[in-house]
Amino acid sequence: MRRDVANVFSGPFILFTVLMFGLPWLSQAQETTISGKVTDANSGDPIPFANLIFPGTATGATTDFDGNYEIRTTHPGDTLVVSYIGYTPRKKAVVKGKKQVINFQIVENTQSLQEVVVLSGENPAYAILRNVVKNKNKNDKRKMVAYEYDTYTKIEIDVDNITESFRKRKVIQKITQVLDSIDRMAGEDGKPILPILITESVSKVYYRDNPSLRYENILRSKVHGVGIEDGTTVTQLIGSSFQEYNFYQNWVNIVTKDFVSPIADGWRLYYDYDLVDSLYIGDQFCYRLDFTPRSPQDLAFTGSIWITKEGYALKQIDAAVGRQANLNFIEKIKIQQELEPAEGGAWLPVKNRVLIDVSEVTSFSTGLLAKFYTSNKNFVVNKPHDVNFYQLPITMAEDARMNEQEVYWDSLRHEPLTPTEKNVYKMIDTLQTIPMVRTYIDLFKIAVNGYYKVGKIDVGPYISLLAINNIEGVRIQPGFRTNINFSNKWVLGGQLGYGFRDQRIKYTAQVQNILSRQHWTTLTVRARSDLGRVGIDGETAGDNFLLLASQRFGYFRRGYYTQEGRIDFRREVFKGFSQRVGFRYFTFRPTYAFAYYDNPEDLSASTVSQNFESAEMILEARYARDEVFLQSDNDRISLGTTRWPIITVRYTRGFKGLLNSDFDYDKLRLSLFKRIRLGPLGTAYVDLMGEYIFTDIPYPLLGLHLGNQTVLYNSVTYNLMNYGEFVSDRYATLQYRHYFEGLLLNRIPLLRKLKWRLLGTANVIYGGMTPGNRALIAPYTPSGEPTLPVGYFNKGPYVELGYGVENIFRFLRIDFIHRLNYLDHQQQPNVPVRKFGVFISFQFQL
């Protein structure tokens, strides 16, 4: 009996014991834990927001911004599948009940996207997007009074698409050992890449509104690249200022092109949308919308956005531009961004990742991968600094480029380097030790910079080394300048030329002192003895050194020899506003038939002269409110303005009797340059200028408008005007260029694949010459030779209009230009007036 009772209670007791103590242990033993990373097989970059799931179940995960995921489940399948828009799905086997690491490398799907199924009723995505636009002013970071944050930036540039034929080249055979290790870096399914640059920087970024100003202070930087010196230019470029993209703007500027945002005000004109999911991302419940451009050739994105249900803010975005877009040399652009709300309601980006895949220029070359990553933290909002605090857009700490130990950089990084990134540093060190690689690097620098660096001296520029014209014959002109290794305050330079026909020595010598880098201030002294062409000098051509060099070739119809001395003082008084004070003395010795009356009021008693001397002072003020500059060693490079025009006012005063100067005169010039973004209509450039000369002086001192008698198009000149055809002492000019991008030709089926782009141009001059200046022109030289005639406007404005096609074979541009008036203008004998012209030019652009 006792045994029976024991048997009765022993079964339930054992069952109870198993249920209470055994099942948790059993459950833990059967739990499957999978972690890993999803990356792009081509670039090696992580893929955030990718979906992983066990087929036939609801169990899965989504990768974070760095491509990582983790799944814990007691009911796994035996296969895990990863998928993401624009990529081919990939599956791998899973071992149940174990902890394991499964990494995926997935390949981009180049096939066309599936058709969108349109159902009756309104697309549910439209209501969400209307609310996104409605709440832009609340969520856009630009609505904040001010914000600042710490940022870490990392850039890597790699050579990709390395073919077997490329490996067989001599220079590449020298680095075979390095290339052999690339396969190990690429991963099981990745393509081999060759890293050539990796940079890191830590900065403090400040922004304030009203006025809109931005300032970045680069505290630390680390530049490691093949042939890249850790100069100030590279350090400034690797900061976060050039890796910022705000999709709340209607147009996002990337590599000089404007792309329409998927949440632009006119979103419905450019994109198709699909509401595909709703899920929690952190604490935010979000809608996921996939979008595709209505026209694949437009500068628009394909990808996904995650919009918060509360406030309709942009939480995450993954946007890509593919090879179908009307771009040159670009296989893909990919931007991934994660945002978080700040105090005051606006959303600020906490992480950004950008990939630019550059295709091969030729079938014998490789491509490039440029990868940018930024991480932002420690936000402070609505505490603006004084306006003067934002004086310079980018500055660099004096010790920013010190090579700290790796342990120190580990404390600066927001995330540690991956093993692959650590290996990149080692590979770049190996490449830099190969002699042939260093030789190719030197040749590339000469092609880009125009100078060859030899210690503290740069030899060049090569562009002006040789010229051929009718006066000098063959001209050679070597030159040099000192670099920052010589001094960071003094810049010495010079050129020495010789013409084999005129057998004259020409020279230029220049000394510049950089008085201040904070408020960029320079004092420059120059002496020159050279051959010039009337109407073309440093004052009219500005910084267009290519134009100045090209004008030394061909036939000099109005050439002259000159001795010149110049002193220039320039200073940026405050952000965007700079002033210049200059003094210039020069002589004029013509090589052509030129003469003027010394006393035009009494021609019978006046003598006729050919030569003159002039001494003048120049006062100039220039305002470019949002212009961005980079300080490149001892140079300052302008990156142009974003929204505001560049306005320049110049007053020139000539002093008779000073240094034997022959004339008193006054000139006043006003110019305005503006880039206008017109959204879907493309981009326009407007250049307006007006000048008034108050005194009667010989016409070489007046405004001689630049003509062009070549077949090469030049945006600075009037292309159907002959050299020296028109001279003015008062005038207003308009030069207008409009680039339609692919606006019209993208809609024509047979032409869209060619990626041609339409453009339009207009050049207008309204000017004239007073009777007093016309009376100064003598009909004969002192030797009795007839002088070269001078033309002026007397029948209204001069107008030439053009249209053309660019991007032919990706490099060629053809312009068709019509001259609308002064068609019977016989100012120059035996030189016909061209009513129509076809011009070509070569350009390298995206």
Q: Look up the CATH number of the domain holding residue 40.
A: 2.60.40.1120
Say if residue 136 is in the same domain as residue 197. yes
DSSP label at residue 655: -
Please tell me the predicted confidence (pLDDT) of residue 553: 82
Residue 515 covered by a domain: yes
Angle (CA) 322 751 290, round 5°: 30
| Tokens read off for 442 | 């030197």
Digit-coded pLDDT (tens) for 669-696: 999 999 998 877 888 999 999 999 999 9
Residue 505 covered by a domain: yes
With a CB cutoff of 8 Å and minimum separation 6, the contacts of 238 are 153, 155, 199, 200, 201, 221, 223
Among residues 522, 663, 535, 536, which one has the least CA distance to residue 582?
522
Which is more confidently placed, 573 or 244?
A: 573
**Mean pLDDT over residues 579-607, rounded?**
90
Chain-centroid distance of CA 205 in Å reads: 20
Among residues 582, 831, 818, 601, which one has the least CA distance to residue 723?
831
pLDDT of 813 higher than 90 = yes
Report how far apart, in Å, the C-alpha atoms of 414 and of each of 6, 151, 152 are: 65, 8, 7
Residue 812 covered by a domain: no
Rounded percentage of the chain residues whose pLDDT exceeds 70: 84
Ranking 177-191, 298-312, 354-368, 595-609 by mean pLDDT, the lowest is 177-191
Please tell me the predicted confidence (pLDDT) of residue 175: 64
Say if residue 273 is in the same domain as residue 379. yes
Say if residue 381 is in the same domain as residue 420. yes
The residue among 424, 442, 460 that closes a domain is: 442
Please tell me the predicted confidence (pLDDT) of residue 445: 60
Give me the domain span that covers residue 47.
31-106
Please tell me the predicted confidence (pLDDT) of residue 306: 94
- Mean of all residue pLDDT scores within the chain: 84
Q: Global pTM?
A: 0.77
Please tell me the predicted confidence (pLDDT) of residue 434: 63
Say if residue 69 is in the same domain as residue 132. no
Which is more confidently placed, 313 or 97?
A: 313
Q: In the structure, what pLDDT confidence band is assigned to residue 544 with cuts at 50, 70 and 90?
A: low
Say if residue 382 is in the same domain as residue 310. yes
Residue 162 covered by a domain: yes
The residue among 388, 409, 442 that closes a domain is: 442
Q: In the structure, what pLDDT confidence band is assigned to residue 815 with cuts at 50, 70 and 90?
A: very high
Rounded distance between C-alpha atoms, residue 842 and residue 171, angstroms = 29
Angle (CA) 479 481 484, round 5°: 160
Among residues 248, 287, 261, 279, which one has the least CA distance to residue 125?
287
Which CB contacts under 8 angstroms, 24+ apart, belong to 494-503?
495/464, 497/530, 499/471, 499/472, 499/473, 499/474, 499/475, 499/531, 500/472, 500/473, 500/474, 500/475, 501/471, 501/472, 501/473, 501/474, 502/471, 502/472, 502/473, 502/531
pLDDT of 25 higher than 50 = no
Digit-coded pLDDT (tens) for 82-140: 988 878 899 999 998 889 999 999 988 765 444 445 556 789 999 999 999 999 999 99
Q: In the structure, what pLDDT confidence band is assigned to residue 258 with cuts at 50, 70 and 90?
A: confident
The residue among 442, 476, 499 that closes a domain is: 442
Ranking 237-251, 552-566, 775-789 by mean pLDDT, the lowest is 237-251
Say if residue 290 is in the same domain as residue 414. yes
Rounded distance between C-alpha atoms, residue 16 and residue 10, angstroms = 10
Strand-pair category, 394-396 with 213-225: parallel
Residue 576 covered by a domain: no
Please tell me the predicted confidence (pLDDT) of residue 716: 84
Residue 201 covered by a domain: yes
Say if residue 181 is in the same domain as residue 100. no
Digit-coded pLDDT (tens) for 495-530: 999 999 999 999 999 999 999 988 899 999 999 999
Digit-coded pLDDT (tens) for 156-176: 888 877 666 666 666 666 665
Residue 166: helix, strand or coil by DSSP?
helix
Please tell me the predicted confidence (pLDDT) of residue 508: 95
Which is more confidently placed, 731 or 392?
A: 731
**Mean pLDDT over residues 377-401, rounded?**
85
pLDDT of 19 higher than 60 = no
Tell me the residue length of the chain: 846
pLDDT of 53 higher than 60 = yes
Report how far apart, in Å, the C-alpha atoms of 259 and of each of 297, 299, 357 are: 12, 5, 17
pLDDT of 814 higher than 80 = yes
Say if residue 367 is in the same domain as residue 484. no
Residue 166 covered by a domain: yes
Say if residue 363 is in the same domain as residue 488. no
Please tell me the predicted confidence (pLDDT) of residue 543: 56
Residue 436 covered by a domain: yes
Please tell me the predicted confidence (pLDDT) of residue 112: 45
Say if residue 468 is in the same domain as residue 511. yes
Please tell me the predicted confidence (pLDDT) of residue 21: 45
Digit-coded pLDDT (tens) for 199-222: 888 999 999 988 888 888 888 888
CA quadruple 600, 604, 609, 615: dihedral, nearest 10: -30
Which is more confidently placed, 705 or 5?
A: 705
Which is more confidently placed, 602 or 793?
A: 793
Say if residue 95 is in the same domain as residue 204. no
Rounded distance between C-alpha atoms, residue 9 and residue 13, angstroms = 6
For residue 668, what are the β-bridge partners? 651, 692
For residue 33, what are the β-bridge partners? 72, 99
Please tell me the predicted confidence (pLDDT) of residue 613: 96
Give the E-state strand segments of 463-520 in sequence order: 466-469, 473-476, 479-482, 490-499, 504-516
pLDDT of 654 higher than 70 = yes
Say if residue 300 is in the same domain as residue 378. yes
Please tell me the predicted confidence (pLDDT) of residue 283: 86
How many distinct structural domains can be found in the chain?
Answer: 4
614-643 as b/e: b if 16+ CB within 10 A: bbbebebebbbbbbbbbbbebeeeeeebee
Say how many Å lie between the first and final Cα of the chain, rounded. 96
